Amino acid sequence: MGIVHHGTYISYFEVGRVEYMRRRGLDYHSWTELGIHLPVVEAYVRYRRTARFDELLCIETRLSELTRVKVRFDYRLLREPEGELIGAAPNPDEQVVAEGHTLLACVDQHHIPRRIPPEAEAVLLGPELDIPARIGADGRPRHAAAAPGHGDEERAPHASPSERAAGSKS
């Protein structure tokens, strides 16, 4: 059919969440070494428009809730504008493909709930760091984390780098 499977959107949310943490100097593997695990305990997606294969999309990721043991991220998956009229302001609502959230719980290596350590809270609430672009396997610059099977990424021209990671779909 040429459209992206509905289950793939959760993977896009994960890319946004991982990129959110990476831009604050944190990779998930480092947390697991400290005995901190953040499994998804709830996921919600509202599909607004059809996404097609090989379409360029952006994911906005925002930390919306941080409690003693839970972290909630909100997401907006946006279609990159194509052929916008010169001088015409794009309507962001027309570009929203999906919206949703994930709720994560902090657990230890035995899957027992535990309090999010203060240093982890500080990182999650902290500012974005100036992290240089990485080079992909094809030698081209990569500016955001990619999910397996995804192409090169670019930031949206109207995006705040603290909230967006972009990628092409496959």
Percent of the chain with pLDDT over 90: 51
In 67-153, DSSP assigns E strands to: 70-79, 96-105, 134-135, 141-142
In terms of C-beta density within 10 A (0-12 exposed, 13-18 middle, 19 or more buried), how is residue 101 classed? middle
Average pLDDT score over residue span 102-125 = 93
Judge if pTM exceeds 0.75.
Answer: no
Q: Burial code of 113-141, b = ≥16 C-beta within 10 A, e = fewer?
A: ebebeeebeebbeeeeeeeeeeeeeeeee
Phi, psi of 47 (to 5 degrees): -85, 125
- pLDDT category, 74, cuts 50, 70, 90? very high
pLDDT digits (tens, 9 = 90+) for 129-166: 886 555 444 444 444 433 333 333 333 333 333 444 44
Phi, psi of 11 (to 5 degrees): -65, -40
End-to-end CA distance of the chain: 13
The answer to whether residue 89 scores a pLDDT higher than 70 is no
CATH number of 8-82+93-168: 3.10.129.10
